[in-house]
Amino acid sequence: MQKIVPNLWFDSQAEEAVKFYVSLIENSSIGAIARYGDTGPGPKGSVMTIAFKLAGQDFLALNGGPMYTFSPAISFIINCKTQKEIDRLWEELSRGGEKQVCGWLRDKFGVSWQIVPEVLAEMMKDKDPERTNRVMEALLKMEKLDFKGLEKAYGGK
């Protein structure tokens, strides 16, 4: 069992959100579903919690009612191997939501995501501050991140 499990609080869309996320991200699955009984904020028989995995990472989604909403102060980073993967996830996750800058987006459920090339972390840890500054300058001008643009900035070409 994973020691720390992110819990996502939805008003009533937990099952819809989980099915959506699992359909987009490889190595993902839906686990146990608990339903409300006679007591609880949800109607009897409706989904209370749903366990799921995204890329092997455990999560839990809760239908807890409208009193809490998501904030961009918490986001999930998806490290992508290719531009094609970035493009697909960017378009699918932002559909019905909001595209933002620097690879960030908010999905139709209000959850914030960062869709980034997996090499970005290495670029930003480079010992040459000129390289990291060029990458940051390029990144700040982008909405959806572009591998070639970041690589060009990193290499200084």
The architecture that CATH gives domain 70-157 is Roll (3.10)
Supply the DSSP symbol for 67: T
Q: Which option is the CATH number for 1-68: 3.30.720.100, 3.80.10.10, 1.10.150.120, 3.30.1180.20?
A: 3.30.720.100
Rounded CA-CA distance 78/56 in Å is 12
The length of the chain is 157
Closest CA to 137 of 123, 127, 117: 123
How many angstroms from the chain centroid is the CA of residue 84? 17
Closest CA to 28 of 56, 58, 62: 56
pLDDT of 156: 63
Model's pTM, two decimal places? 0.93
- Give me the residue spans of the domains in the chain: 1-68, 70-157
pLDDT per residue as tens, the chain (157 positions): 799 999 999 999 999 999 999 999 999 999 999 999 998 888 999 999 999 999 999 999 999 999 999 999 999 999 999 999 999 999 999 999 999 999 999 999 999 999 999 999 999 999 999 999 999 999 999 999 999 999 999 996 5
Supply the DSSP symbol for 87: H
pLDDT of 84: 98
Per-residue burial over 44-82, b if 16 or more Cβ lie within 10 Å, else e, is eeebbbbbbbbeeeebbbbbbeeeeebeeeebbebebee
Rounded CA-CA distance 134/140 in Å is 10
